[in-house]
Amino acid sequence: MDEGRLMAERMYHAFNGRDAAATGDIFADDFRSHPLQATGPQCVRDAWQRMWAHHPRIEVRLVDLVTDGRRVATRTEVVGFADGSTATMLEMFTVTGGRIRELWGLSSQPRAARG
């Protein structure tokens, strides 16, 4: 399995498992998040913890993943929002030295649950 695929799967597994401590092993010390406009693993840890606090059942489901080993693009479905809505998220990131170094992302507005 290539490094990019491994890191993507580790990241989503850690998020879904509520494993904030794993951010230190997944994200590089000089990690840069363009969506958060912040750096370092702590910015991800803080963002994850805010999401879990506001949406206790939130989960990211990996739909598509494309990688060349160092660069990764994913499409995910985010479910479990407190209001029952879902969202689509597109992320691209680079992996070097076994860690995610830089991440870009876009997400749709949460969509109301269908009845």
* Mean pLDDT per 10-residue segment, the chain (115 residues): 91 98 97 96 97 96 94 97 94 96 90 59
DSSP assignment string, 49-96: HHHHHH-TT-EEEEEEEEE-SSEEEEEEEEE--TTS-BEEEEEEEEEE
**C-alpha count within 13 angstroms, C-beta hemisphere, residue 55:** 18
pLDDT given at position 55: 95
pLDDT of residue 69: 81
- The length of the chain is 115
Neighbours of 81 (CB within 10 A): 19
Instruction: Kindly report the pTM of this predicted structure.
Output: 0.92
In this predicted structure, what is the pLDDT of residue 83? 92
Question: Phi and psi (nearest 5°) for 48?
Answer: -60, -45
Contact 75, 100 (CB under 8 A): no
Neighbours of 19 (CB within 10 A): 15
Rounded CA separation 111/2 (Å) = 33
What pLDDT does residue 109 have?
72
